[in-house]
Structure 1
Amino acid sequence: MDTSPGGSLVLPDDPERALAQDFRLLPEGNSFHLAQLTKIIDKHKQQLVNMAETFLSSCQRWVAIVHQATFRERCSNLWLHGSRDFLLLLLAMGMITRPLLSGNEPDSLRELMYEAVKRLFWDKDSVARPSVALIQAGLLLSVYEYGNGLLNASYVTISVCSSLAQVSGLCGALNAPPLPRLGTLASQDEMLHTWWGIIIHERMISLKSHLPIRQLHIQDPNAMNNALLEAELHTIIPKLAIDSHYPAFYLQARAAIWLDHVLEIVHSSPVISKEGRLHFQAVDRGLVHFLRILVQLGMGTCCEAIAIGLNAFFRLHHWRLDSHAPSVFTEQEREESSQAMKTILTILADVASDQVYFNNVMRQVNDDIVEVFPYTITMIYQLLLEMRDQLPPPRTSAEPSPQPFDALQNEMRMMKYILEKQSVNILTI
């Protein structure tokens, strides 16, 4: 009986089970060898490349770190270009595209690929000579862990990626990088995009886990100039008709800068000076203006940037409302935060009702509005919690339901649809 990674008893017309079976045959513990992995990849090359292509046509919209032409060229000859780090990146891209469920059970291939990626990334031979491909794979590993609620693991992984990026010269240790350019990723910008991917993800993890990160301290005043951003986006409107995701990653980077300012505020001294209040107001106004620009573009164009910006907005105002914080804010200031959140929720509820639920309960859904990357899913979950907290007291059955309750039902349907799309239909994207 052949039980080596090069062969299995699974029928050849069931490639997913065959690949899962071969991953199960990898030795446990520290006896993981690259030769065994390359044998599996050689046997299942086309399936793994197909998974990577799924990544490039879906997840790449939101984590635009892999230059497609260069990646495909290396895939065409894995034996020539298939370094340890590149094989790890290939597996990580495939892992990200796996569904949550296979039928009614957790997708076993997804879990097995995660274990293989994790073991290979943390192997001493991998981190000894860090490459761009290794750092990209580590970023995707951290994103996967974040999406599965493993915040501590995700934080440790992305922290190592950040350190490796500095050691390898991918980024500067002190100065913030320039913003990524609008449009499709160019080969010369792959390292810059990878560094921005780390920056964005670091801030999303810190937001959820409250763990510390190094602040960006962006010196370029134009990075937060919303008037210039509006003018810039106006010039690319014709391009959006061809590629609706043309500015997506660029807008994520700008959203991360706003989030960085929010984190700097909420992690600062609890004593709020007059200057601190003015800074709070400036960041709040700028962030709301930025979100208005994004919502006008639409979720199908920049849903991840909207997710980052909304999370920053709610974190900023919850910090001011937090009952555990010292009583340094006036009741009027706290009421302003409460009203600001209600206003944002009302606007988003209207957008959801107008753009997604104009037909009877998801009979027709605009797939451009629904995405599967973790930031959007956590954003919708956050909205559910916020709307729940903002609901008025229950009314009698004779009275009509309040409008926020209807909005909550809409958001619940949206979240349910996204989760179903991720677990069932992602391979058809």
Structure 2
Amino acid sequence: MLFAHVQGAVSPSPNLIRAGILITLYEYAHSKLDTASTSIKSCAKMAQALGLHELMYLQETEERLEGEEQRNIWWAIIIYERAILCDIMPVDQFLATAFPSSIVPLPLESSVLDKSDEVHIRAATRLLGSAIDIEHLSNFVGQAQAANLLDQVLSVIKTTDRNIKLLELPKIDERLMGLLGVLLEKSYSTREHYCGAIAICIRALHVLHGYVSDPTFTQLEIWGQNSAAALNTLSEMVIDIAKYYNKHFNPLDDDLPPPAIFYMAEASLKHLYKDQCFETGVETEDYKLLRKYLDNLKSKWNVI
């Protein structure tokens, strides 16, 4: 409410948009999805008023650092709007932002922005449509690439042409699994944080296979079986992540997990309950482990 008053009283600025994004993340983490969706759309409207969406296509800006920071703001809006949409039904709702084309530069981590011009220029040449640069893959870049594929999932689901869906969804599934594999490998080998990117990948796969496995979409039994198997595999991945996190969980450290992880865990919990617990009403050990994982994650944000 206070933020809405501020928006009405002052002109849009990058700092005001950053504040709006932080508020969005708080709302997203506290399961206020409709409010978070409204907030991120307000951020998009302010950013468009400032022309930040047009900066994506400019090769040079007068102030390099300022220009890249503002590009990053627009990237954050694009990513979070789609991540939030995954958990708002129906998923074919209106998006306030259009996903940029493959020729735009990928976002840059703050650590890169602070580097020399030579390092920065080399990083800034990596485009959304280029092959995944495993060596220089960061969490922010991974989130942008995952959000790009999520956007494709949402776009295909929206189309009314069933043949396009049957043709395109398997291709997107393959690309998502490829990106997820790279992110998991990087995470395990470097111990760096790729949680946000991994969560968006897995949520995109949840949306895709949840849609495909719905009998109202396809009468092809093999499709339903394959998607059911994919959802089981995703749950196993999340269980492995949960085991590691629970084992190393420290309530005193100040690392805030990205809210998208909450919804990744919740989607896996729902699938496990339906697959393993529904008929007996008895919670399995995997279900209990995931619930503990979710509780640990939410405790970081003081979510009750």
**TM-score normalised by structure 2 residue count:** 0.76
Aligned partner of 2:238 among 342, 348, 353: 348
Residue 289 of structure 1 is matched in structure 2 by 178
The one-letter amino acid paired with 2:291 is M
Aligned partner of 2:6 among 120, 130, 154: 120
CA positional deviation for 1:388: 1.5
Residue 166 of structure 2 is matched in structure 1 by 277
Alpha-carbon spacing, 1:150–1:365, altered in 2? closer, same or farther (3 Å): closer
The one-letter amino acid paired with 2:134 is L
Matches within 5 A, 1:362-381: 362=247, 364-365=248-249, 371-381=256-266
Deviation by residue 1:6-50 (Cα, 9 ceiling, x = unmatched): xxxxxxxxxxxxxxxxxxxxxxxxxxxxxxxxxxxxxxxxxxxxx
CA positional deviation for 1:373: 2.8
CA positional deviation for 1:420: 2.4
The one-letter amino acid paired with 1:263 is L
RMSD: 3.2
Contact 2:103 / 2:128 at 8 angstroms: preserved in 1? yes
Paired residues, what number?
268
Matches within 5 A, 1:235-384: 236=136, 247-269=138-160, 271-273=161-163, 275-298=164-187, 301-323=193-215, 325-326=216-217, 328-353=218-243, 355-356=244-245, 362=247, 364-365=248-249, 371-384=256-269
CA positional deviation for 1:177: 5.4
Residue 155 of structure 1 is matched in structure 2 by 37
SS of equivalent to 1:298: helix
Deviation by residue 1:375-404 (Cα, 9 ceiling, x = unmatched): 1222222221122122167679xxxx9xx9
Alpha-carbon spacing, 1:395–1:377, altered in 2? closer, same or farther (3 Å): closer
Aligned partner of 1:388 among 267, 273, 279: 273
Structure number with greater Rg is 1
Deviation by residue 1:158-206 (Cα, 9 ceiling, x = unmatched): 222212212212122xx9659xxxxxx9544110000001101111232
Distance 2:57 2:235 in 1: 33
Contact 1:215 / 1:260 at 8 angstroms: preserved in 2? no
**Structure 1 unaligned residues grouped into runs of 5+:** 1-114, 179-184, 237-245, 425-429
Contact 1:206 / 1:212 at 8 angstroms: preserved in 2? no
SS of equivalent to 1:219: coil
Residue 61 of structure 2 is matched in structure 1 by none
Contact 2:147 / 2:200 at 8 angstroms: preserved in 1? yes
The one-letter amino acid paired with 2:74 is W
Distance 1:162 1:171 in 2: 9
Aligned partner of 2:75 among 172, 193, 196: 196
